[in-house]
Structure 1
Amino acid sequence: MSTSNLPESMRTSVLVGVKNLTIEDRKLPAYGTDEVLVKIAAVGVCGSDVHYFRHGRIGDFVVDGPLVLGHEVSGTIVAVGDSVDPSRVGQRVAIEPQRPCGKCRECRAGLYNLCPHMEFYATPPIDGAFAEYAVIQDAFAHAIPDNLTDEAAALLEPLSVAITTMRKAHVVPGSSVLIAGAGPIGIICAQTAKAFGAAEVIVTDLVAEKRERALKYGATRVIDPVEVDIANEGLDVNAFIDASGSPRAVTAGIKAVRPAGHVVLVGLGNPEMTLPVEHIQNYEINVTGIFRYTDTWPAAIHLVSSGLVELDSLVTGRFGLDQAEEALESDQDPASLKSVVYPSK
């Protein structure tokens, strides 16, 4: 099904080299029978976008051609494929920015985030959403209620990371949780831990301003890890979540977990680091990582629409498509938390 009043082209911000963005006019993307065409309202800037912009790669994911960044996305469906309910046109949605194959071993097991054939927004060579329009499969365009702003809907993506983290960390009512790092993911994790029922949420960060901010977003206590020896402070938490990527923070956090507790590595850090293996073995600490998410948008929509998690106030910078480079560099400001790009403005 097509909509006759759509333009033939769209403005797109394209990464053509390290720290090199250009604006291009591109044809609207074609959509398949099971897909929808979304006019993009808001796109959050993620640390991975910044990493691709500055370094041209993240581990094995290498930018070897022009790439459109942006995977934290909200918008409005403006056209649908032949097998999609036409009543979806005009619906406001949050995009789950991935396309698994649906056929591999991992997909069949319900672990579609680990699909080896995954096509994920803004991960080479798949284009993201720093553009006026984007395409996604119908099932991954999640309808949002009227009480969610476009900004909050876009930030359901990092909230999905936090939800996956809490599930992996086995956070339940009454849990005690230690979080290293008070950047965007750390702050959203702190809120989500409280929403999952955590009684104690301890956040560490090197920057005093970030620690103070964490107290406004779910933290019950904040600690300067330079002043306090986290490993020997007797925190005895149920779960440790690393949102810093710091090897020192990871080691200290592991030692702050009680026997049989859980450790979830979320932050992008060194590709390899030394872990206290004897401690992990002797105390049966469960250590894992997360890679994106599965089936989190319904929970994320509920948490925000019910007021258990608040996302709008996290936005500290708003930029048009022509200012995408400025948005990607905004994390240099310690006061910056979350920047959003508006492709249609």
Structure 2
Amino acid sequence: MDISVDSKPRLPEGYAFVPSNYEQHTGNLAVYVCGFNDVRILPYQMQPLGPEDVRIQMKAVGICGSDVHYLKHMRNSRIALKEPMVLGHESAGIVVETGKLVKNLVIGDRVALEPGIPCNMCSFCKQGSNNLCRGIKFFGSPPTHGALAQQVVHPAYLCHKLPDNVSLEEGAMCEPLSVGVHACRRASIQAGTHVLILGAGPIGLTIMLVARAFGAVRVVLTDIDEKRLSTARELGADSTVLVSSDEKDCDGEYQAIRSAMGGLIDATFECVGTTRTMTTALKVTKSGGKVCLVGMLHDKMTLPLTAAAAREVDVLGIFRHRNTYGTCIELLQSKKIDIQKLITHRFGLSHDEVIEGFKASAGGGHAIKVMFNL
């Protein structure tokens, strides 16, 4: 898909740029990406409340790498942005209005919003793989607006009530936590598993927490950034390996990883998405083990698949998540996972704070998770 960006960003029909005193605006505001490195707070008109929908006063919205990609590149992997779009898909808030057929929620309930609205009619949906639904509408993925707004309307069945001991920020973190749960399920992580994670960014760290909760006995992370590895150790990694982006030292890297693991690697999660890191995953994982490709940086890779296939190494992919929110809420309620340790930066909904929040999220190894408190 081609990227088409006007020199003057287009706005949704009927909208106008918010004046400098936008804080006094009485309508619903949202954060739009309007062009390359161009993020703005603008009025946002919600869809009408349907009989099975709820209206949510948003309280906590996290920023994901995909949001930053849309802002910096006007695309995320193969999906291009053609017009201004509201960002954000990691969200939680409070129910302020319910449709006439809603029975599971009442006004005042605190909820985590599952961001994907599947068609519920296709073969994928009917077999429980709704994340693969071709008609899914996902927050902050063109052409669907996201959740970084003061209020949104969403189907009630995709709004999960939070227990009293789970905060709204933790509710918003159910979305990245869901990626970790889905990945660990795909790779069959269980008691006694030895896990390697390539990439100590937010998703790599989330997978580490979930793998540990699922019973992994040894978890090792690699990264090119020592600060991220330090954070991984603070959060419970058994060991870390500082690697290089230099293509010439691969054999030394493989040896260092095997030494840190102290034994065979049952499952490797590749959370970067490059040819180099995926090659490492295939080389070091044990025969009969599993490699789960989570990172999506490179659309195309040249990999030693024949050698991996001869050792019966299973290569798995994941796309977002499915049927995970109940598990995530249970992990948070039981305190098996302390996800708030990943939130390193917090901002409000003002022009300057929005700009600073996205700068922090795109700033390399210093921020893990940026959270907007609305």
TM-score range, shorter chain: over 0.9
Alignment of 1:41-56 (within 5 A): 41-56=59-74
| Alpha carbons 2:162, 2:329 under 8 Å: kept | yes
Aligned-residue offset at 1:87 = 5.0
User: Is structure 2 residue 192 aligned with structure 1 residue 159?
Assistant: no
1:234-275 deviation per Cα after TM superposition (whole angstroms, max 9, x unaligned) = 452000001122321111111111111111111121000111
Match of 2:273 in 1: 245
Alignment of 1:169-208 (within 5 A): 169-208=187-226
Match of 1:285 among 313, 338, 348: 313
Separation in structure 1 between the aligned mates of residue 274 and residue 108 of structure 2, nearest angstrom: 44
User: Is structure 2 residue 252 aligned with structure 1 residue 229?
Assistant: yes
Separation in structure 1 between the aligned mates of residue 322 and residue 119 of structure 2, nearest angstrom: 14
Aligned-residue offset at 1:43 = 0.3
Match of 1:256 in 2: 284
Query: What code does the residue aligned with 2:163 have?
Result: P
Match of 1:328 in 2: 358
TM-score normalised by the chain length of structure 1: 0.94
Alignment of 1:110-121 (within 5 A): 110-121=128-139
Query: What code does the residue aligned with 1:229 have?
Result: G
The answer for unaligned runs of 5 or more in structure 1 is 1-6
| Alpha carbons 1:247, 1:269 under 8 Å: kept | no
1:182-206 deviation per Cα after TM superposition (whole angstroms, max 9, x unaligned) = 1111111111110010001010011
The alignment partner of 1:151 has SS state of helix
- Cα distance change of structure 1 residues 110 and 40 upon mapping to structure 2, 3 Å threshold: same
Q: Which runs of 4 or more aligned residues in structure 1 lie more than 6 Å from their structure 2 counterparts after TM superposition?
A: none
Aligned-residue offset at 1:86 = 7.5
Separation in structure 2 between the aligned mates of residue 127 and residue 67 of structure 1, nearest angstrom: 6
Match of 2:148 among 122, 130, 146: 130
After superposing the two structures, state which structure 1 stretch, 167-176 or 28-37, moved more: 28-37
The alignment partner of 1:334 has SS state of coil
Aligned-residue offset at 1:59 = 2.7
Separation in structure 2 between the aligned mates of residue 336 and residue 49 of structure 1, nearest angstrom: 14
Aligned-residue offset at 1:28 = 4.1
The alignment partner of 2:72 has SS state of helix
Query: What code does the residue aligned with 2:106 have?
Result: R
| Alpha carbons 2:52, 2:101 under 8 Å: kept | yes
Aligned-residue offset at 1:129 = 1.1
The alignment partner of 1:78 has SS state of strand
1:278-309 deviation per Cα after TM superposition (whole angstroms, max 9, x unaligned) = 22211111102110111100100111111111
User: Is structure 2 residue 373 aligned with structure 1 residue 342?
Assistant: yes
Separation in structure 2 between the aligned mates of residue 65 and residue 206 of structure 1, nearest angstrom: 35
Match of 1:218 in 2: 236
Separation in structure 1 between the aligned mates of residue 309 and residue 337 of structure 2, nearest angstrom: 35
The answer for unaligned runs of 5 or more in structure 2 is 1-24
User: Is structure 2 residue 323 aligned with structure 1 residue 295?
Assistant: yes
Query: What code does the residue aligned with 1:317 have?
Result: H
1:137-176 deviation per Cα after TM superposition (whole angstroms, max 9, x unaligned) = 1111001111111111101100000000000111110000
The alignment partner of 1:329 has SS state of helix
Q: CA RMSD in A?
A: 1.7
The alignment partner of 2:234 has SS state of coil
Separation in structure 2 between the aligned mates of residue 82 and residue 67 of structure 1, nearest angstrom: 29
| Alpha carbons 2:98, 2:105 under 8 Å: kept | no
> Which one has a larger percent strand, Structure 1 or Structure 2?
1
Query: What code does the residue aligned with 1:337 have?
Result: I
| Alpha carbons 1:251, 1:276 under 8 Å: kept | yes
Match of 2:33 among 9, 15, 18: 15
| Alpha carbons 2:92, 2:172 under 8 Å: kept | yes
1:206-259 deviation per Cα after TM superposition (whole angstroms, max 9, x unaligned) = 111111110122311111223873434545200000112232111111111111
Separation in structure 1 between the aligned mates of residue 105 and residue 298 of structure 2, nearest angstrom: 47
Aligned-residue offset at 1:8 = 7.5
Query: What code does the residue aligned with 1:9 have?
Result: G
Match of 2:346 in 1: 318
Match of 1:4 in 2: none
Match of 2:84 in 1: 66
Separation in structure 1 between the aligned mates of residue 275 and residue 165 of structure 2, nearest angstrom: 40
Aligned residues with identical type, % of pairs: 34
